[in-house]
Amino acid sequence: MSLLSKKDLFSLEKYSEIRNEFRAKVMKHKKNRRLAFNDHAVLYFEDSLTMQYQVQEMLRIEKIFEAEGIQQELDVYNELVPDGTNWKATFMIEYTNVGERKKALSKLIGVEKSIWVQVEDSEKVYAIANEDMDRETEDKTSAVHFTRFELTKDMITNIKVGLPIIFGIDHDEYKTEIIVPPKVQRSLIVDLN
């Protein structure tokens, strides 16, 4: 998957004209790039389209139109575009109730390092998390973590022939695993081309 460049972006004026249509396209695309462990722990797999949307929104919100500012946004968000040997995902701990969220975040310190992927019976590959900055304190973890799953050549081969993909979490306070649904698996295979 190729990184985004300025030529992939719309001008602020053009984006304003097509924003609703573009947003609808991205939201439809994202439906097959979401993996929920439960109601509160979700992986959102990123790719060039999801990151193009993020860049366009940042440029719009911040009213960035100068080349240097645009390039800075591209540099930040290109870090979340998979390169053909990995998956990159935003891991979110989602609670609408503030009290419940605080309690969960205090119990889940280190959870982002305990997320893993496995293809059929291969060894588990654990997430590399938060390469940009530390997102936890002694008292709590963050509700948002950026993860990267570096896949082996054998895993990639087996994924492309359709073997089951399993994601899981091995944290003392939260242990679970889930088989990736077919629509999500098809979407993730595209990231490996």
DSSP secondary structure letters along 179-192: EPPHHHHHHHHHTT
Asked whether the beta carbons of 165 and 159 are under 8 A apart, the reply is yes
Q: Kindly give the interhelix angle for 12-30 and 48-62, rounded to the nearest 10 degrees.
A: 140
Q: Which residues of 51-89 are buried (b: 16+ CB within 10 A; e: fewer)?
A: bbbbbbbbbeeeebeeeeebeebbeebbebbbeeebbbb
> Does the pLDDT of residue 134 top 80, yes or no?
no
Please report the sign of the dihedral spanned by the C-alpha atoms of residue 191, residue 125, residue 121, residue 45: negative
Express each pLDDT in 42-97 by its tens digit.
999 999 999 999 999 999 999 999 999 999 999 999 999 999 999 999 999 999 99
Asked whether the beta carbons of 129 and 145 are under 8 A apart, the reply is yes
Predicted TM-score of the model (pTM)? 0.91
> Does the pLDDT of residue 133 top 70, yes or no?
no
Task: Supply the pLDDT for residue 1.
Answer: 64
- Domain extents in the chain: 6-78, 86-90+98-190
DSSP secondary structure letters along 85-99: SEEEEEEEE--SSHH
Across 31-43, average pLDDT: 95
Percent of the chain residues topping a pLDDT of 90: 89
Nearest-angstrom CA–CA distance, 125 and 188? 16
